[in-house]
Amino acid sequence: MTGFDSLPVAPLQALALSWLRPFDVELAVLRLDLIDPLISGNKWFKLLEHLRLAQDAGAPGIISLGGAHSNHLHALAAAGKRFGFATAGLLRGHCQDTPTVRDLQAFGMQVHWLGYGGYRERHQPGFWQPWQALYPGWHCVPEGGGGPLGAKGCALIVAQARAQLANLGWADYDAWWLAAGTGTTLAGLVLAEEGGHAVHGALAVPADHGVAEAVRALVGPAGYRLYDASRGGFAKVDEALLAFMDTCERESGLPLEPLYAGKALLALREQVEAGAFAPGTRLIFLHSGGLQGRRGFA
């Protein structure tokens, strides 16, 4: 198990979009989608501390859970193949053939389908017991790579952006804008910023998913703001969103996917148009990757 802690640097690029111009808001994008073709986006950062723990413990493998399009399981399986450790994935629902699942198996991940009821048990106290019996000594990563270890790894994202500000001619920036699923990545940015710059999180899941509570548990109540960007549900995609993404992709060349980056950028436009940001504001948009999951929507 070697090489996993040389994280590639995500490029920071200026992003010119016509809907920003009238409001004189400047936007740069930190391209986590470009750090690796397989271990894409924020997921490598979220896994980093888990990989260190697993290595220190001499764990023979890593086990985690997720859905049939999970970017997290995809990154874990690809990391296992690349860096030389075994992986197992516990999947929600019943056996399905998706591009993501095919990749998981091609990367050598042991895939187990839990059904919907079985997956719902994942927070029960005895849940891990049979899996720990089947995979003795393996390191378990919570769903989506969430929790304090995930957030700690994501704190490194801030330094990557700061090191490249001069390339844009920026002395500083005012705030971050990013999509939030579990809120772990957002929590990492808040930890690294220590109140220096605000962190704005566009929620890709509805308010009843407990993300606000999870973020509060990780970093407390200050230093960030959350917005509902879910458009009625996690996987809900509508015409307005697709048309907006299409326009942005044409204008900027930035590839988007609808579940996170597309929704986050649309929520940003709504805030900009509502006058949330003063003229001259400089924002960094975190492109958290996830383009592999886009294949499921083709």
Can you give the binding site for ligand PLP, defined by CB under 6 A? 41-42, 71-72, 144, 179-186, 260, 288-290
For the CB of residue 253, give the shortest distance to ligand PLP in the complex, in Å.
18
Whose Cβ is closer to ligand PLP: residue 23's or residue 153's?
153
- Of the pair 71, 87, the CB lying nearest ligand PLP is at 71
Other C-beta atoms closer than 10 Å to the C-beta of 73 total: 31
Cβ 66 to ligand PLP shortest distance, Å = 9
| Residue 61 or 258 with smaller CB distance to ligand PLP | 258
Output the smallest distance, CB 215 to ligand PLP, in A. Answer: 9
Q: Which residue has the tokens 């996690």?
A: 234
Q: Output 61 or 289, the one with its CB closest to ligand PLP.
A: 289
Of 17 and 256, which has the nearer Cβ to ligand PLP? 256
Closest approach, Cβ 132 to ligand PLP, in A, equals 24
**How far is 179 from 157, CA to CA, in rounded Å?**
14
CA–CA distance, 155 with 151 (Å, rounded to integer): 6
Long-range CB contacts (within 8 A, 24+) of 13-19: 14/168, 15/252, 15/254, 15/285, 16/251, 16/252, 17/248, 17/251, 17/252, 18/251, 19/269, 19/272, 19/273
User: Which residue lies nearest ligand PLP, judged by its C-beta?
Assistant: 290
* Nearest approach, Cβ of residue 109 and ligand PLP (Å): 17
Q: How far is CA 93 from CA 158, 196, 234, in A?
A: 36, 42, 16
**217 within 8 A of 146, measured Cβ to Cβ:** no
Residue among 209, 211, 285, 291 nearest 258 (CA): 291
Q: How far is the CB of 124 from ligand PLP (least distance, A)?
A: 22
Residue 243's contacts (CB-CB under 8 Å, 6 or more residues apart) are none
Q: How many CB atoms lie within 10 A of CB 148?
A: 15
| Closest to ligand PLP by CB, 80 or 262 | 262
Query: Sheet containing 86-91: which strands, arranged edge to edge?
Result: 110-113, 86-91, 61-66, 139-140
Closest approach of ligand PLP to the CB of residue 154, in Å: 7
Q: Which residues pair with 19 in a beta bridge?
A: none
The smaller minimum CB distance to ligand PLP, of residues 71 and 271, is found at 71
- Strands lying side by side in the sheet with 26-31: 12-14, 26-31, 282-287, 175-180, 198-203, 224-228
Quote the least distance from Cβ 184 to ligand PLP, whole Å: 4
Of 61 and 183, the one with the shorter C-beta distance to ligand PLP is: 183
